[in-house]
Amino acid sequence: MIMTNYGFVTVAAAVPHVRVADCFYNIRKMEGLMRQAAEKRVQLMAFPELCITAYTCLDLFAQQTLLDSAEKALLTLVGNTADVDIFTVAGLPLSTGDGLMNAAVAFQKGEILGVVPKSYIPNCKEYQEQRWFTGGGELSGKTVALGGRNYPAGSGLLFRDGHVTVGVEICEDLWTPVPPSSLLAMRGANVILNLSASNELIGKHSYRRSLVSQQSARCIAGYVYAMAGFGESSTDLVFAGGGMIAENGRILEESPRFVMEEQLAVSEIDIAALENDRRVNRSFMRGASLLPADETREIPFRLPAYPGAFALTRAVDPHPFTPQGAALNERCEEIFNIQVAGLATRLVHTQARTAIIGISGGLDSTLALLVATLAFDALKIPRSQIQGITMPGFGTTGRTYRNATSLIRSLGVTFRDIPIGKACLQHFEDIGHDPSVQDITYENTQARERTQILMDIANRENGLVVGTGDLSELALGWTTYNGDHMSMYGVNAGIPKTLVRSLVEWVARYKVEGEASRTLLDIADTPVSPELIPAGAEDAILQKTEEIVGPYELHDFFLYHFLRFGATPAKIYFLAQHAFAGVYDGATIKRWMRVFFLRFFAQQFKRSCLPDGPKVGSVSLSPRGDWRMPSDASVALWIKEVDGLDQ
């Protein structure tokens, strides 16, 4: 079955006003929120725990009057919302032959679909629920009577429509070592709805938030958490309300706590991305195979289908490799540690006496040099044993050459300057190439000459050539085969261009001072270029990479969603329009996406023989451990989809 809405399902966590023990007041508030949710095109919705009666009824839960009212109110709510297509779960106390259940009832379009009891009943100082309720494990039958009809009941119910499978758990269930949601997820649930009534204590919300985030990650699922709020009794406890929506470890939406208004937290869960992660996570799938088959029961339902175009409300990061704010500092520190550890280990293993790096004055070689200096510092080897080699050619500009020499000297690295012009002209003569013809032979001769110099110096001095090429260049094949494509250890192989720039700027601002800082900032501000054709008037860089292959921020976006989630071109295009609204129009995005797929498929042969290099993030193109693709795979399917996109 092909997924609609690009694989997204719209969900909501609702927090209504309640009055303790006033069931019909409560369902009026719930109905109002359901209708608001329908206007927002919500498809799945969770209310808080015991919301029909309110959670804080205490010994009133033993009163038949309250229990009868709760059941009647539920049936009234179900009937009154028969015209609302949302799959909804609401909480109430439900009397059965086994005792009193703290239950979640799933319903849609005037029909009750099933009943899920709370599995774990707390009996702590704050929550003495065992005084009134029995756990789901004590439910002897597989059905529960409501309004004279029997409905499926149990903690293992799964509500399924095509690619979307919903599981339900209640508050305390999440706080246990093995929550029901873990078992439900391994049986196929990719959206978990949690009906909660968790009170506020100092520091508790941070822990609760972490639980929601981590459980969504462990389950590779979406997680919708609705928490009891205003109107609950404040006799001993305070309930602050709020809803959280998480997806695979990321909080997508969170409504504020301690507000007096009703709340509706709405976002979209990417079912397609979750399915992709589950397909490739064999540990997760193996866990599913170990569960007894009779632990769960599937109940079909139908996701609402709203007319008109699908609109996304969740944020889409245009720079998914590069976090913002304080997270960027932490990310940069960790990346450098990974790169440094990888290079240091290789230096020790090979017993290399020196590191050989070609320095162009561009971003990639700058980052490689910074990594090398930190690795030598960690190994307590003088930086002077690193050789930073400039190799000016036909396209080298004064700006990049000055930055290269300044950086090498300011970092205390041994400087060597080896111009390649004469060697390249000799080579042109040897192979019969007219140097006035500035074609691919003209360009690649320079790249291969530089690599030959580095390799030969490394051989002569028992050194190790540190590669400079980054992940974005490898994805696009923007590298000369057996030229800058090759090294003895590629420290930047796992880092996309947008992140390279951020790393260089981070070092400039936080790790160095004076001349080194000024040089790094100027390097970060220099247009990306291979500098393989002569400069223009006033030493201007004419060969600008992003004018040839497209903006790296777009290509990094395409690469992330294509590799990380297996997204289709149509979905990537949809997300890119959302992420880059006001920056690139649809025609521009489509144009460069076409270039991306053409180059990505055509250039696989270069990635099939990459040198070793450290994996840094979740996206890697190493042919040994991450991306294994035939070099002659056809791109036709992807290009056909790109060409069919509406602008």
**Bridge partner residues of 243 (DSSP):** 226
Strands of the sheet containing 44-46, edge to edge, are: 111-117, 99-108, 87-96, 44-46, 8-15, 263-270
Q: How confident is the model at residue 355 (pLDDT cuts 50, 70, 90)?
A: very high
Tokens representing residue 275 in the block:
């399915």
This prediction has a pTM of: 0.91
List, as one string, the DSSP characters of 446-510. Answer: HHHHHHHHHHHHHHHTTEEEEE---HHHHHHT-S-TTTTT--SEETTTT--HHHHHHHHHHHHHH
For range 375-387, the mean pLDDT? 97
* Residue 118 falls in the annotated catalytic set: yes
pLDDT at 232: 87
Question: pLDDT averaged over the chain?
Answer: 93
Q: Please check the confidence at residue 289 and state whether its pLDDT lies above 70.
A: no
**Do 193 and 301 contact (CB within 8 A), yes or no?**
no
Tens-digit pLDDT profile for residues 178-231: 999 999 999 999 999 999 998 888 888 899 999 999 999 999 999 999 999 888
Instruction: Give the count of beta carbons closer than 10 Å to the beta carbon of residue 628.
Output: 11
461 Cβ partners below 8 Å, 6+ apart? 353, 354, 356, 387
What share of the chain has pLDDT > 90, as a percent? 80
Return the H-helix or E-strand segment holding 345.
helix 326-350
Sort strands 263-270 and 297-300 into parallel, antiparallel or unpaired: unpaired
**What is the C-alpha to C-alpha distance for residues 578 and 589, in angstroms, rounded to an integer?**
11
pLDDT at 291: 63
Q: How confident is the model at residue 545 (pLDDT cuts 50, 70, 90)?
A: confident
List, as one string, the DSSP characters of 254-293. Answer: EPPSS-SS-EEEEEEEEHHHHHHHHHH-HHHHHHHHTS-G
Q: Which of 29, 49, 71, 268 is catalytic?
A: 49
Q: How confident is the model at residue 241 (pLDDT cuts 50, 70, 90)?
A: confident
Q: Please check the confidence at residue 410 and state whether its pLDDT lies above 90.
A: yes
For range 378-401, the mean pLDDT? 95
Tens-digit pLDDT profile for residues 477-531: 999 999 999 999 999 999 999 999 999 999 999 888 888 899 999 999 998 887 7
* Residue 515 falls in the annotated catalytic set: no
Q: Please check the confidence at residue 1 and state whether its pLDDT lies above 60.
A: no
Tens-digit pLDDT profile for residues 552-592: 999 999 999 999 999 999 999 999 999 999 999 999 999 99
Q: Which of 51, 57, 171, 332 is catalytic?
A: 171
Q: Please check the confidence at residue 259 and state whether its pLDDT lies above 90.
A: no
Tokens representing residue 108 in the block:
């849609």
pLDDT at 233: 86
Q: Please check the confidence at residue 294 and state whether its pLDDT lies above 70.
A: no
In order of start, what are the domains of the chain with their CATH numbers? 9-299 (3.60.110.10), 326-643 (3.40.50.620)
Q: Which of 29, 118, 571, 606 is catalytic?
A: 118
